[in-house]
């Protein structure tokens, strides 16, 4: 296969929060972006999202070729992918829609163009069922916002070619992402499964009146979340074992795994529980708009990312200043 271009053209298919975030990331990294979305106000919404994200991206450091003006909106899906080097699909999270969309993308793209899907839970095997050629279809699962959170999880389906998975990993790494190459398909991938375990327990606690929305967020922000940003849960527990490390931690605390500390089955999402979660978030927001919260979140993420880089320059993908 031809080698990847250092900076090329990327098609962003679907330009909502995730697809628009991908577009902002690629623009900041010096790529040209061709976008397409069937929504009536999609182009204006995308440009507003890029405008909102750009100050954070400027603070992190832009590629010499970076410009928010290097995005264009195509009139059709086929026009968007006509001469691109990579496709990032970020359509709505509906299996039937993903199947039709990926089949169209596979038929419309050149034989050496890989198509990465931003799905948050579907397997590529099931999403690719309608595609005539599924060899170039892979999952490229990001985390929101894609223009700041470095992680992307990559995995192919039963019909994905190994070279396509290799190329997707190489492309994302060249674009400044922290890449996990998964060796097998797993519902929800890795990050979402871990995140979902915390989320389900949070819903149980609110539903049972054991904790408020505000207390749950404070517990993570001011507790384990700070450590996880640096070492993750496994290495954090390794340190909890002192000189004996993880072995001592498991030997000492292992019996507590049988304690009823968590309930991984999701509680029923009753109207009362839904309202409690919505009202709790409204109290936490305290009048701040979504735009206000996005800017606040981005400032915090930048500070954490920069702190990580200062501690270990080689261990913070997506943060280092881009070289000309």
Distances (CA, A) of 20 to 45, 131, 206: 9, 25, 32
| pLDDT at res. 232 | 85
Tokens encoding 160: 């994905």
Write the pLDDT tens digit of every residue in 127-161.
Answer: 999 999 999 999 999 999 999 999 999 999 999 99
> Which 3-state string (H, E, C) describes the chain?
CCCCCCCCEEEEECCCHHHHHHHHHHHHCCCEEEEECCCCCHHHHHHHHHHHHHHHHHHHCCCCCCCCCCEEECCCHHHHCCCCCEEEECCCCCHHHHHHHHHHHHHHCCCCCEEEECCCCCCHHHHCCCCCCCCCEEEEEECCCCCCCCEEEEEECCCCCHHHHHHHHHHHHHCCCEEEECCCCCCCCCHHHHHHHHHHHHHHHHHCCCCCHHHHHHHHHCCHHHHHHHHHHHHHHHHHCHHHHHHHHHHHHHHHHHCCCCCCCCCCCCHHHHHHHHHHHHHHHCCCCHHHHHHHHHHHHHHHHHHHHHHCHHHCCCCCCCCC
* Residues in contact with 77: Cβ distance below 8 Å, sequence separation at least 6, in sequence order: 13, 36, 104, 105, 108
Higher-pLDDT residue of 83, 5: 83
CA 96, CA 130: separation in Å to the nearest integer? 10
* Residues in contact with 106: Cβ distance below 8 Å, sequence separation at least 6, in sequence order: 115, 128, 131, 132, 133, 134, 136, 137
Higher-pLDDT residue of 316, 282: 282
pLDDT at residue 309 greater than cutoff 90: no
| pLDDT at res. 293 | 84
| pLDDT at res. 314 | 60
Is domain 9-181 annotated with CATH 3.30.1310.10? no
Higher-pLDDT residue of 160, 300: 160
pLDDT tier, 321 (very low <50, low <70, confident <90, very high otherwise):
very low
- Give the neighbor-by-neighbor strand order of the sheet with 137-142: 71-73, 32-36, 9-13, 86-89, 114-117, 137-142, 151-156, 178-181
| pLDDT at res. 298 | 87
**CA terminus-to-terminus distance, the chain:** 27
Greatest Cα pair distance in the chain: 62
* Residues in contact with 105: Cβ distance below 8 Å, sequence separation at least 6, in sequence order: 13, 77, 81, 87, 89, 115
| pLDDT at res. 313 | 58
| pLDDT at res. 292 | 85
pLDDT at residue 315 greater than cutoff 60: no
Higher-pLDDT residue of 99, 236: 99
Whether the full predicted model's pTM is greater than 0.95, yes or no, is no
**Domains of the chain, residue spans:** 9-181, 191-287
Write the pLDDT tens digit of every residue in 222-266.
Answer: 889 988 887 788 888 787 777 888 787 777 776 766 677 777 777
From 45-49, 55-59, 282-286, the region with the lowest mean pLDDT: 282-286
pLDDT tier, 68 (very low <50, low <70, confident <90, very high otherwise):
very high
pLDDT tier, 269 (very low <50, low <70, confident <90, very high otherwise):
confident
CA 126, CA 121: separation in Å to the nearest integer? 11
| pLDDT at res. 317 | 54
Share of the chain above pLDDT 90, in %: 65
Which residue(s) pair with 73 in the sheet? 35
Q: Which fold has domain 191-287?
A: 1.10.1040
From 85-89, 129-133, 215-219, 250-254, the region with the lowest mean pLDDT: 250-254
* Residues in contact with 288: Cβ distance below 8 Å, sequence separation at least 6, in sequence order: 296
Write the pLDDT tens digit of every residue in 185-198.
Answer: 999 999 999 999 99
Q: Do domains 9-181 and 191-287 have the same CATH topology?
A: no
| pLDDT at res. 132 | 96
pLDDT at residue 319 greater than cutoff 50: no
CA 140, CA 166: separation in Å to the nearest integer? 12
| pLDDT at res. 320 | 44
């Amino acid at each position: 296969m031809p080698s990847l271009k250092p900076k090329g053209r990327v098609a962003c298919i679907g330009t909502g929060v995730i697809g628009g975030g991908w577009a902002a990331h690629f623009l900041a990294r010096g790529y040209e972006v061709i976008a397409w979305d069937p929504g009536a106000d999609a182009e204006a919404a995308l440009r507003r999202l890029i405008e909102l994200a750009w100050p954070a991206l400027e603070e992190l450091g832009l590629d010499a070729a970076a410009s928010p003006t290097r995005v264009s909106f195509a009139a059709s899906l086929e026009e968007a992918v006509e001469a691109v080097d990579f496709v990032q699909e970020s359509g709505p999270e509906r299996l039937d829609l993903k199947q039709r969309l990926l089949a169209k993308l596979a038929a419309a793209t050149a034989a050496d163009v890989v198509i990465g899907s931003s799905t948050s839970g579907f397997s590529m095997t099931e999403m690719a069922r309608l595609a005539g050629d599924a060899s170039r279809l892979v999952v490229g699962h990001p985390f929101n916002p894609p223009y700041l959170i470095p992680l992307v999880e990559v995995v192919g389906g039963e019909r994905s070619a190994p070279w396509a998975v290799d190329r997707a990993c190489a492309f994302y790494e060249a674009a400044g992402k922290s890449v996990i190459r998964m060796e097998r398909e797993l519902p929800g991938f890795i990050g979402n499964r871990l995140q979902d375990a915390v989320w389900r327990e949070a819903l149980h606690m609110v539903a049972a009146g054991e904790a408020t929305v505000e207390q749950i967020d404070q517990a993570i922000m001011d507790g384990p979340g700070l450590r996880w940003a640096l070492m993750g849960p496994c290495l954090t527990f390794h340190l909890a074992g002192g000189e004996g490390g993880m072995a001592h931690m498991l030997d000492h605390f292992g019996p507590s795994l049988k304690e009823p500390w968590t309930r991984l089955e999701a509680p029923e999402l009753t109207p009362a529980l839904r309202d409690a979660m919505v009202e709790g978030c409204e109290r936490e927001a305290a009048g701040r708009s979504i735009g206000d919260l996005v800017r606040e979140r981005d400032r915090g993420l930048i500070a954490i990312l920069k702190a990580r880089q200062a501690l270990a320059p080689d261990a913070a993908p997506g943060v280092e200043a881009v070289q000309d």
